[in-house]
Structure 1
Amino acid sequence: MARDDLIGGALWEEYSQEVQKRMNQPSNMGEITESEALGNRLIIADFGAESCGDAVRLYWLIDPKTDQIKKSKFKSFGCGTAIASSDMMAELCMNKTVDDALKITNIDVEKALRDNPDIPAVPGQKMHCSVMAYDVIKKAASIYKGVDMDTLESEFIVCECARVSQDTLQEVIKLNKLSSIEEIVDFTKAGGFCKSCIKPGGHEKKDIYLVDLLAELLQERTAEENARKIIEAKGEGKFEAMSLVQKIKSVESILEEYIRPTLKADGGNVELIDINDGNSVFNVLIKYQGECMSCSMNTTTTLAGIEDMLSFKLKAPIKVVVT
């Protein structure tokens, strides 16, 4: 029985029955040879985790006409969790196209290994094993496509376990005004597994840590609030007294924080076109985008909501005009 993951008998209970089964009896372990290709293309990809010394080799037989993975097997040089994760990863790849296989994340692998949808399949410190499964898929796809592996990653990933990018973290922290690591974990799941990305000293060394990212954004938030307080103290915060550029920035900030998230959730958006002075009112010219363009409420409920929010936040007479 493969029990090299254990730290005492109690930890064994933190592994799902599915993980334990695949540790001992993996169904997709083995190799594929050229003699089995029969017109398909054989891809062999290796990937190793420097942090723990584990390594996995992935075999794909791909139909070059359809890019479909006809057969998928693996070899693992590592712990029992790496074997179980690699076994599930190889299974999830089967009969998918290469592009669809690239969409398989480490979370998909881990969730597929759960006995209960709400209970993790492995302890948090072993989550990196399913990350390795994701990375070897990317390596195999890069070989098949003839491109560098790094070109298949469009964003900088801070949390490998939950596949959360730096851009996503910054957006969520700003939008929801998060101020603690606990809130970040709750909103994004970043840092909720092996915890290496939270601060230095974890299982793996990272280029960016959540504590540093949060500290930087909190500093920016404090600076913005201090600047706003200074402006308000000088009496310069009134919308009427602002320059056109300041008016545009003020309206944009409100649209971004209070209006666009709701519109984007329904496939729409809004663009600020211009601001001009009318008779005792400020005309805010907007243009709807996406689903908002054809929405029956874009000149009634939605328009009134935008107008009310701008008037309330800016403490000024606002009329929103759709162009």
Structure 2
Amino acid sequence: MKENDKKEYSSKILERIDEPKNLGLITKEKAKEFNLKLLSSDYESNAGDSIRLYWAVDKQSNIIMDAKFQSFGSGIIIALNDMMTELCIGKTVEKASKITKTDVEFALRDRPEIPAMNIQELYDKTLNFVVIKKVALSYTEVDVSSFDDDYLVCECARVNLGDIKSAIKQFDLKTIEDIGQITKAGIFCKSCQKEGGLEEKEIYLTDILEYTRKEIDEQKQKEQERSQIDFESLSKEEKLKLIDEVLDEDVRPMLVMDGGNMEILDLVESKPHYDLYIRYLGACSGCSSGSMGTLYAIESILQDKVFVDLRVLPI
């Protein structure tokens, strides 16, 4: 920057051109360490400058505890983005989303009555406030469960939501790249990978991955808790409740898909076994597999997740 050009800017701007205070990134690991929710979003202007904004947000108060940015642009753009990012810190997500160019320029003044830079230049320069709106909108978690499993997530590869969730669970996928290798979703135009791509989507692979990994972790936690339960020490009502929970999670959805269901009639202690009497409902009633393959599957699941000597007897 030429010496004459430097005189047109406040000393605060010049300091941030040389040494931005908030340039960098916030990792998921760092945010998790402090129990904060990490948000990020990208924006690229027609002028060619781009920015990625990171917020680490307290989940209870909605306050932005830390903010960082990565940017490609001129020195003045870096300085403006640096102050824009700093003004987000300590504000709620709602208040930060209302920050304006005027707020940024005023914060960069050396004296309140003297503008930090030429006002016309301020409005000519591309200050990416769109990215603030985008990252603020992403704060509300996407309810993946509200989308039908047939919902087409990746139009390029024609991959639906159900197939992606199944792949994550079956192959224990942990990254967007893993999903692409197995399902081909997100490997072409990449719009469905995360917010900020070529096309805006209702739901992204990042949302699905986060939601499904959370489901997997919660299921593992439940199974761990169940494994520590002494089944025989439970009351009959507690035993039936535990069995019913496992049936709801692992058996009934399978039966409902085929137009059937089942109900528990009784649980009878018959040392060293416990006999669970059930009745098939709907399409399962009278089905030949009800006394063969389906029965074996139900019994195996309950023996694995509830009690090893549990027998299932259909009536």
Q: TM-score range by the shorter chain?
A: 0.3 to 0.5
- TM-score in terms of structure 2 length: 0.41
Higher Cα radius of gyration = 2
